[in-house]
Structure 1
């Protein structure tokens, strides 16, 4: 498995990639989940990907998927290469890669920015942190209860997503 600095390095390679809801292609378009999923896939982690979610994802579903893919840890132990989830209403709905600490800096695909960005976490972001995660050392997803429809969960290999983006005209 990769070290945490490789996670940051791979995430930085996406900076400038346009925001695209449910996107999974570097340089073409990713959302916050797509950025994290792609980075983990590039580093050979086994990742569960959900293909169908709203622009404002269901917090319970989002939380289940994050917990299935990553290991929760205490915020006090946050390091570059960890992940943070954020809320905008009540439930977690957004995820970012930690690139620096003291002060905290994050990399994420953010719809309002229109692309993948890296910036310091100001009070807006700090007040919305829900949880801190790190990559799992093992790829065992069996201990998580993912009650999702078969067509919603697949091991992310990118081929179906690329085909969907080609079909809807977003790849040209």
Structure 2
């Protein structure tokens, strides 16, 4: 990240994410109250907090076991957001999860407190839940929403 220097207000990020609570799960969608997946939730929060999305999101696979050498989500986030060490992530941070060892990071959430996060989960929709040790060990990278 070179040109984005200032992080968005974490309270604003969290408030935007909480407005999505209860939105049904819908693969590759991003419409609050109608449907979204985990990336669609992050895209919606981006639109509210930062502004227009900087580029269209191409179709993507739902396969959490997908392997490869390209971390597409992390690379995309690095182009637009402020990366920080996982240990430094606090409320308002975007979290990327690697769901299986050796797989690429394919799940996205927003940290709301040091121990809770919001994400879109199949069959449950957008929910806020505890960041348990099972979730913590899957964190691959973390980012802050910028102010452009």
TM-score of Structure 1 vs Structure 2, range by shorter chain: 0.7 to 0.9
User: If the length of structure 2 is used for normalisation, what is the TM-score?
Assistant: 0.82
Runs of 4+ in structure 1 off by over 4 angstroms are none
2:58 equivalent among 21, 46, 51: 51
Aligned to 2:136: 126
- The aligned length equals 135
Matched position secondary structure for 2:44? helix
Q: Distance in 1 between matches of 2:22 and 2:107?
A: 18
- Looking at both structures, which has the greater relative contact order when contacts are Cα pairs under 8 Å and sequence separation is at least 6? 2
Residues 36 and 81 of structure 1: CA distance in aligned 2, closer, same or farther (over 3 Å): same
Aligned to 2:81: 70
Q: Distance in 1 between matches of 2:87 and 2:137?
A: 15
| Aligned partners of 2:97 and 2:138 also within 8 Å | yes
Q: Distance in 1 between matches of 2:15 and 2:141?
A: 22
Q: Distance in 1 between matches of 2:137 and 2:8?
A: 30
- The superposition leaves residues 20-44 of structure 1 with CA deviations (integer Å, 9 ceiling, x where unpaired) of 1101111110011110111110123
Q: CA deviation at 1:45?
A: 3.2
More displaced stretch, 37-46 vs 18-27:
37-46
- The superposition leaves residues 137-163 of structure 1 with CA deviations (integer Å, 9 ceiling, x where unpaired) of 33xxxxxxxxxxxxxxxxxxxxxxxxx
Cα RMSD of the aligned pairs, angstroms, is 1.9
| Aligned partners of 2:8 and 2:144 also within 8 Å | no
Matched position secondary structure for 1:55? coil
| Aligned partners of 1:37 and 1:49 also within 8 Å | no
| Aligned partners of 1:22 and 1:51 also within 8 Å | no
Aligned to 1:34: 40
Aligned to 1:114: 124
User: If the length of structure 1 is used for normalisation, what is the TM-score?
Assistant: 0.71
Matched, 1:97 2:110: yes
| Aligned partners of 1:105 and 1:120 also within 8 Å | yes
Q: Distance in 2 between matches of 1:115 and 1:28?
A: 10
Between structure 1 and structure 2, the one with the greater Rg is: 1
Matched position secondary structure for 2:108? strand
Structure 1: gaps spanning 5 or more residues = 139-172
